[in-house]
A and B are shown apart, each in its own frame.
Chain A
Amino acid sequence: MTAALPRDGDAPRARAKLAKKWTYLLSSRAFVPLTNRDLERHLLGFVERLCAGVGGEAPAHRVGREVGVALVDLDCATPDCLQCTVEVVGRGLLAMGGSRERVATAVAALAAGFVERVRAVTLAQQEQLGRSLHRAMRQAQVELEVVRAHHDVVEGHTSTGIATTDPRARVVRVNAALGRIVDRAPGALAGTSLFDLAHPAERDGIRADYAQLTRGGTTSITQPRKLLRADGETAWVTLTLSPLRRHEGGDRVVVLAEDATDVNLLQGQLNHQALHDVLTRLPNRQFFTSRLEQALRTADPDTGVTVFHLDLDGFSAVTGGLGREVGDHLLKVAAARLEEVVAEESAMVARFGFDEFAILVENSPSTPDVVTTARRINDRLAEPVDVRGGRIACTARIGVVHRPPRHASPEDLLDSAHLALRRAKGGGRRWELADPVRDRLDRRVLGLAATLPGAWEGGEVVVRYQPLVALEDERLVAAEPRLRWDHPELGEVPHERCFALAEDIGLVVPLGTWALRAACAQARSWRELGRDLPVRVSLAHAQATDPDLVAVVRSALADDGLPPGSLWLGVPADVVLGDGEAADGLRALADAGVGVEADGFTAAPADLTRVAGSPARAVRMSRPLTDRPEPLVARVLADLTAVVREAGVGVSVTGVATPAQARWWRDAGADTACGPLYGPAGPPEDLGPRSNT
């Protein structure tokens, strides 16, 4: 393979250039399963052979033909490929000095070889395609046979009745199960009309279904239907009619008949179990939710619906103390009573969870208002129940969603009811109306709980101090630590909220302990500055009943070298006035000199009698008060205060906002107070030695 064209000393370079250009053009016109480099190598070979042909070393027409064939075999087989080849090769060979005549011969032969090869390849591929089609068809037929064999087995053994009919409902084929369902021999069924097997009342309906299918319907029709048994009885079935369109032999209808007699019975039972609470036999949450969804849509827009979500108070205490049986009994009684309360209404009572119930009322013009219904619920529940020699009364907290918009989703609605219920509990109220604005806030705050531990560790939770003064002369007598979470986005999260969040995630005790220690350390700092200011730390319920409380308090005092009198503890009244272990521990602390006070004192008669014997040296009333209390309330409060004081116990009040309130409490006999009137909680410096003037 030497230079084909003698005149050109740069022949190899020129050939390489031609091959490169040819490669470029071909590869952008056809898919060649080669890298460009490999393609170029092949084409360079072609160029060299063509040059040989043009240069007279080989017959130009033969070389041309061969290259044309080879091109197609490289998959450069499109018309485009031929066109660009003729152009680039023809010109290239001429430029390299080939004679016009020989170049023309070579290129013409190339085109002929190309076309011949393309034809052959196309025919081969078409033939292959034909064979593939045939094979695929054969394969499909084999599969069909298998399916048919399967089908026969299934048909013979299934309990579903199966028949094939022609478009006029004449039975072509039928299985044994269908015979059993209609109580006839399968052989006797062939040739009969499906319409004759139908219960007379159903014939028109089935006829209409057939008409629909034969008119070109493509989807199956499934209906509960009645068939006629040979013995004259009715067979209940679920009948499915499916069209079967065929290329040959006319269309068919496939009939499936499932015996529905047993199914109907079973289904009813299953439904009931799936949708009802076993103990109370009330609908469950799922049932309630779907009913709610429906009611929202269908309720009279003028009256709407109302949803009550109830939680029985302290119910776990009942079951814990009196046993499961008593608890179950109470739940059943509560369920029955709730149903009574709404007996006049179109309503559903459901049990949601352990001690949670819900009521859906589809309001009518005569439905009592929400206040009345909520009161009736509580009144009815409050009637004592006889249990094992004793009597127990229930109370409930209720979250209410009243007349939600009809497009509200049941889930959102129940969520709102639940949030309102939480608020009722948190605020110590019997019931609370859902409030979209507060809901949004609450939802956000619930999400917050999860981030509290991180924030606490990260130093976002700080301790502030609020003054506690003697009502007599407004002298500062103690400082109360208050937590504040400086949330980077939501701003300040106040003390109560911090603890409520901590409650949600079981963080109350560690957080409370931390606050207690911080307060003790602060008291010591003040002492070091010459200011003897006690700290009054309110304990959360979980903290007050924590078995480690005494040890924690002792070590906090010891670590900071504080005299016990510098620490006052505000303890939930039910704990400190109770007679559990927690009260004993508190007594020990009180005996050691720690100031123990009862928080949230309700002044219920029982509490009043217990206050005298308790370790508490003072009680704190948290009753909100207006500037001018009703005369009756005023008198009762004054009397109460007197009783407490008589027992040698001090009285403290919170939430004092105006001088009038302060004056009123002072006259009623209270000793100390805190509240907005005496300034907000601030950094410790605010209460330090400087302000002692």
Chain B
Amino acid sequence: MTDLGWVPDGIDTNVPNVARTYDYLLGGAHNLAVDRELGDRVLDALPGARRMARINRSFLRRAVTHLVASGVDQFLDLGSGIPTAGNVHEVATRARVAYVDSEPVAVAHARLLLADVDRATAVQADLRDPDDVLSRPEVADLLDFDRPIGLLLLLALHFVPDSDDPWGVVARYRDRLAPGSHLVVTHATADRRTRAMRDVADSTARTRERLHYRTRAEVTRLFAGFDLLEPGVTGFALWRPEGAGDISADADDNAVAYAGVGVKPTAHPTPDHRARGTLT
């Protein structure tokens, strides 16, 4: 069995992948013809897709800036994608940042980019397995789980089907976080532009990750055990916009994904002391 001509998932250059396609939509060139083809199909179904990617990155900047102002100086970015302009460690210029993505190319790329940055690291892992993610030495050595952490899940959880219980996954991270930690989420929805969003989901069916849209209530449930900051779970453009670039003139664009930021309250009991102990 030594002659396997085996290509790992996600490196197969004949199959488009989410991270590279998202990069294309953001205007990057870290993508291949197959990814651009898929990107164009997404654009056919949802002409505002580029705006959506842009609005999401703007939200990321606002949210991270807010967290830094609240004293958060370490971040765990799950489903971080291919590093593009305005990465977390660039917005939070003094913070320690662990990037996690399941796509080997995205991670290899992040490693190249971070070669000289010792306060940031990139790990290839599946965010659905919190125990695995949190026990990786790169993560456990870089981040101090006894102090607040910013947990970022941006446009990532809609790749997790209900059968993998995204709520339970978030709860397991939550249980390991210190009080004062923040949860930041953006999550695609089909509550608006239902037809177009369905078409997008159909066009991406060829990638490994399928899209699982969720309603506002379902997204809100992700924040169980966190206190939601104002204005709660809203269209991602409408979360404390600061300027023209943060929102779109088209109201529906502003709400094709929900966004929210929550903070883990101080009084919140941490049931899993034992597990936290192993990290310190």
Contact = CB atoms under 8 A, between A and B. Distances in A.
Task: Specify whether A and B are partners.
Answer: yes
A35 interface: yes
Interface centre among A31, A135, A249 (most CB of B within 10 A): A31
A248 B1 CA distance: 12
Interface string A101-140: 0000000000000000000011101101101110111011
Interface string A281-313: 000000000000000000000000000000000
Interface size range on B against A: 35 or more
Given A136-B107, A136-B108, A126 B245 contact: no
A246 B245 contact: no
A39 to B, nearest CB: 8
Interface in B37-88: 50, 53-54, 57-58, 61, 85-86
Contact of B112 (A27, A135, A173): A135
A31 B86 contact: yes
Contact of A33 (B4, B5, B61): B61
B105 A77 contact: no
A148 interface: yes
A36 B242 contact: yes
Given A24-B244, A131-B112, A31 B29 contact: no
A173 B1 contact: yes
Given A131-B112, A132-B109, A28 B244 contact: yes
Contacts of A24: 244-245
Given A33-B86, A135-B108, A140 B57 contact: no
A28 B245 contact: yes
Contact of A129 (B31, B244, B248): B31
A136 B8 contact: yes
Contacts of B8: 136-137, 140, 144
Given A27-B244, A140-B8, A129 B27 contact: no
A266 B31 CA distance: 56
A77 to B, nearest CB: 6
Interface centre among A28, A78, A132, A139 (most CB of B within 10 A): A132
B11 A136 contact: yes
Interface residues of A, number: 42
A30 B244 contact: no
A157 interface: no
B105 A132 contact: yes
A35 B57 CA distance: 12
A75 interface: yes
B196 to A, nearest CB: 20
B267 interface: no
B149 to A, nearest CB: 22
B254 to A, nearest CB: 12
Nearest to B12: A247
Given A33-B86, A125-B29, A133 B54 contact: no
Contact of B29 (A37, A121, A164, A248): A121
B169 interface: no
A128 B109 contact: yes
B28 A125 contact: yes
A127 to B, nearest CB: 10
A151 interface: yes
Interface string B1-20: 11111111011010000001
Interface of B: 1-8, 10-11, 13, 20, 26-32, 50, 53-54, 57-58, 61, 85-86, 90-91, 104-109, 111-112, 124, 242-246, 248-249
Given A129-B29, A248-B5, 12 more contacts: A26-B245, A27-B244, A31-B26, A35-B243, A123-B29, A128-B109, A129-B20, A129-B32, A135-B112, A136-B105, A144-B6, A148-B2
16 contacts: A24-B244, A26-B245, A31-B58, A31-B86, A32-B85, A33-B61, A75-B27, A126-B29, A129-B31, A131-B108, A136-B11, A137-B8, A140-B104, A144-B4, A172-B1, A247-B5
